């Protein structure tokens, strides 16, 4: 039997907790270390998930030779710096979305992964959602014909959050676009690829954080209407419409358990709930790549991440969104 894959957790916050709930139940995974900026926080997390080593710095975790693969779950601003450090120490990396704040950061990460000969993947969990996997297959089989329209959004009311939080602090790459707008853009990219033309508009908070963004992507024979926002909650049902039918991904579509497919007037409900809290399929992809010594996933490759951040950058350019640390 293969030895377990030995994980180190960096930034034990909200999403790290959810991720580790799934990692803890995986028979092939062992959490061997957690690193925080604060030892007490690392120790509390280690106790909760039965992790043997707690570190009071991320650097100390990167120096632990027992750690094989690192999960980076800090605010976006630090994904680039921390992934670079981890890879320089020879660690494989699964980094939360977005992989980098801009195209330059993602390019540098890809170069580093290749130079250090380590595995790198953006933690875009929706790509591994079982419904999304099935939909990709349905589209390949032309079950709804040629796709001409995609509609997707991601919105919640985050207006009451602290202005120092990662949602609202420009120093942490705040705003809806990179945090949740990345999902509708991902769906459009997954189904239709790179658009020929992008239009976008945003509203901004007085501290320069982008609050809402509406986007239209134009393709040779298709259009996508996409939206993200922090000012109100939306239903979050996504639609893919083709010449012979349509697919409705049930709310909340980015973590869905089911979708409806209508082909030639006949509607079917397809129920394919993800395992656990929704991270297991992503974890299995990392394990599968590491076992095969693959340096990137075919399902969500480094080129896919580069394309996605290129689209985010194009939208940002249209609406004039820059972070203070980028100037």
Ligand X SMILES: NC(=O)c1ccc[n+]([C@@H]2O[C@H](COP(=O)([O-])OP(=O)(O)OC[C@H]3O[C@@H](n4cnc5c(N)ncnc54)[C@H](OP(=O)(O)O)[C@@H]3O)[C@@H](O)[C@H]2O)c1
| Positions that interact with ligand X (CB under 6 A) | 11-15, 36-38, 41, 73-76, 78, 96-97, 123, 125, 166, 172, 179
Residue closer to ligand X, measured from CB, 179 or 281 = 179
We find the least distance from the C-beta atom of residue 73 to ligand X, in angstroms, to be: 5
Would you say 237 and 249 are in contact if contact means Cβ atoms under 8 Å apart?
yes
- Measured CA to CA, the distance from residue 174 to residue 91 in angstroms comes to 28
- Measured CA to CA, the distance from residue 52 to residue 64 in angstroms comes to 12
Residue closer to ligand X, measured from CB, 56 or 263 = 56
Residue closer to ligand X, measured from CB, 142 or 324 = 324
We find the least distance from the C-beta atom of residue 278 to ligand X, in angstroms, to be: 7
We find the least distance from the C-beta atom of residue 41 to ligand X, in angstroms, to be: 4
| Element at 7 (helix H, strand E) | strand 5-10
We find the least distance from the C-beta atom of residue 219 to ligand X, in angstroms, to be: 27
- The separation between CA 318 and the C-alpha centre of its own chain, rounded to angstroms, equals 22
| Element at 47 (helix H, strand E) | helix 39-49
Residue closer to ligand X, measured from CB, 38 or 137 = 38
Residue closer to ligand X, measured from CB, 179 or 210 = 179
Decide: helix, strand or coil at residue 125. Answer: helix
We find the least distance from the C-beta atom of residue 76 to ligand X, in angstroms, to be: 4
Decide: helix, strand or coil at residue 168. Answer: coil
Q: Which residue is nearest to ligand X (CB)?
A: 13
- Measured CA to CA, the distance from residue 91 to residue 62 in angstroms comes to 7
């Amino acid at each position: 039997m293969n030895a377990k894959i030995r994980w180190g957790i960096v930034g034990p916050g909200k999403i790290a907790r959810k991720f580790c709930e799934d990692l803890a139940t995986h028979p092939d995974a062992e959490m061997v270390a957690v690193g925080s900026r604060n030892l007490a926080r690392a120790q509390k997390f280690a106790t909760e998930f039965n992790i043997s080593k707690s570190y009071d710095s991320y650097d100390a975790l990167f120096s632990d030779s027992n750690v094989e693969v690192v999960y980076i779950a800090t605010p976006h601003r630090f994904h680039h710096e921390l992934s670079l450090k981890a890879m320089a120490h020879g660690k494989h990396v699964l980094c939360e979305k977005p992989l980098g704040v801009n195209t330059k950061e993602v390019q540098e990460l890809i170069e580093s992964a290749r130079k250090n000969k380590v595995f790198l993947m953006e933690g875009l969990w929706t790509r591994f959602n079982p419904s999304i996997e099935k939909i990709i297959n349905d589209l390949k089989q032309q079950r709804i014909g040629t796709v001409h329209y995609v509609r997707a959004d991601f919105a919640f009311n985050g207006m009451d959050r602290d202005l120092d939080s990662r949602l609202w602090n420009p120093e942490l790459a705040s705003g809806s676009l990179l945090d949740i707008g990345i999902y509708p853009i991902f769906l459009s990219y997954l189904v239709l690829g790179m658009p020929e033309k992008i239009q976008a508009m945003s509203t901004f908070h007085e501290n320069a954080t982008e609050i809402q963004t509406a986007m239209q992507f134009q393709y040779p024979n298709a259009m996508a209407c996409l939206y993200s926002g922090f000012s109100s909650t939306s239903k979050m049902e996504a639609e893919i419409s083709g010449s012979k039918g349509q697919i409705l991904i049930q709310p909340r579509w980015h973590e869905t358990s089911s979708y409806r497919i209508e082909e030639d007037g006949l509607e079917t409900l397809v129920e394919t709930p993800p395992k656990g809290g929704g991270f297991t399929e992503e974890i299995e992809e990392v394990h599968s790549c590491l076992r095969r010594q693959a340096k990137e996933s075919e399902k969500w490759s480094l080129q896919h991440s580069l394309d996605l951040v290129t689209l985010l950058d194009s939208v940002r350019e249209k609406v004039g969104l820059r972070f203070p640390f980028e100037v």
